[in-house]
């Protein structure tokens, strides 16, 4: 039975997160429902990350086993015929039978977008954090390098997590501007529950002048969630890319997404 690997994108605004939940509309449940319609076969999918309610994805990776005769590369068009317009398959290939999109991942990259002017906010309110408050962008840029490296990120993990270790390695973290848009771009070997949203909320506190860039180091060392900033809303967050050591899948993802980096500056991103 072949294992199929897909890159998918979705607008998470209408869903209660990725993972199937009882009596809730989720990305996983919708995809599996449409796979059943397509093939007549009950299929269970695995994912690289279980994004929260309202969080979006531009490069989520899923995998599943199937006895269907659909060729691996034809799954893209076949499944998109059934999926709603806010979930799209970008690519599909046959994977190693032991491939797991979560456990085999070596890096994940997220973007968090902030839109900073009144005009146009009506179009971006479901896909970015909209705010007109004045932010010290230079101070935020001084703060982001503090997150790079291997640290105990317990102060940036939502309560209730059952992880065995809070140590994560952040490979890249930067803040960029493009007109009214501000983007946090962060890559790590893995992320804790709500970690990116808490980092974003903490950087906003730097931007507001409530804490300094130097305070970030002390917050990390404290391992105290109450020392970090608030959790930023989910709708500004995007899972952008998942990379694997076993192949050039990260490069494939980058190629597929290379023309999407300016989607927010040219209007709403939609299918």
Give the residue numbers marked as catalytic.
52
In order, the DSSP letters of the chain are --EEEEEEEE-GGGSS-SS--TTS--HHHHHHHHHHHHHSS----EES--PPTT-EEEEEEEEEE----S-GGGHHHHHHTTS-TTEEEEEEEEE-TT--TTTTEEEEEEEEEEE--STTHHHHTTTSEE--S---HHHHHHHGGGG-EEEE-GGGS-TT---S--EEEEEEEEEEEETTEEEEEEEES---TTHHHHHHHHHHHHHTTSS-HHHHHHHHHHT-GGGS-PPPPGGGEEEEEEEESSSSHHHHHHHHHTT-TTTTTSS----
């Amino acid at each position: 039975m072949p294992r199929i690997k897909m890159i998918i994108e979705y607008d998470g605004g209408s869903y209660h997160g990725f993972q199937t939940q009882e009596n809730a509309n989720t990305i996983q449940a919708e995809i599996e429902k449409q796979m059943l319609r397509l093939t007549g076969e009950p299929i269970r999918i695995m994912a690289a990350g279980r994004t929260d309610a309202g969080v979006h994805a531009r490069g989520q990776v899923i995998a599943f086993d199937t006895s269907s005769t659909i060729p691996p590369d034809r799954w893209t068009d076949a499944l998109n015929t059934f999926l709603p317009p806010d979930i799209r398959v970008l690519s599909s290939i046959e994977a190693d039978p032991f491939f797991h999109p979560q456990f085999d991942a070596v890096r994940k990259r997220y973007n968090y977008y902030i839109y900073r002017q009144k005009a146009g906010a009506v179009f971006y309110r479901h896909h970015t954090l909209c705010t007109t408050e004045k932010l010290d962008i230079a101070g935020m840029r001084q703060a982001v390098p503090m997150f790079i490296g291997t640290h105990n990120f317990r102060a940036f993990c939502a309560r209730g997590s059952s992880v065995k270790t809070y140590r994560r390695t952040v490979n890249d973290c930067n803040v960029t501007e493009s007109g009214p848009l501000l983007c946090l771009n962060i890559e790590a070997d893995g992320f804790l529950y709500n970690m990116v949203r808490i980092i974003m909320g903490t950087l906003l506190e730097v931007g507001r002048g409530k804490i300094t860039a130097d305070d970030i180091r002390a917050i990390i060392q404290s391992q105290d969630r109450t020392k970090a900033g608030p959790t930023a809303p989910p709708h500004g967050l995007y899972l952008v890319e998942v990379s694997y050591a076993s192949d050039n899948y990260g490069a494939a993802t980058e190629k597929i997404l290379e023309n999407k980096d300016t989607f927010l500056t040219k209007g709403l991103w939609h299918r």
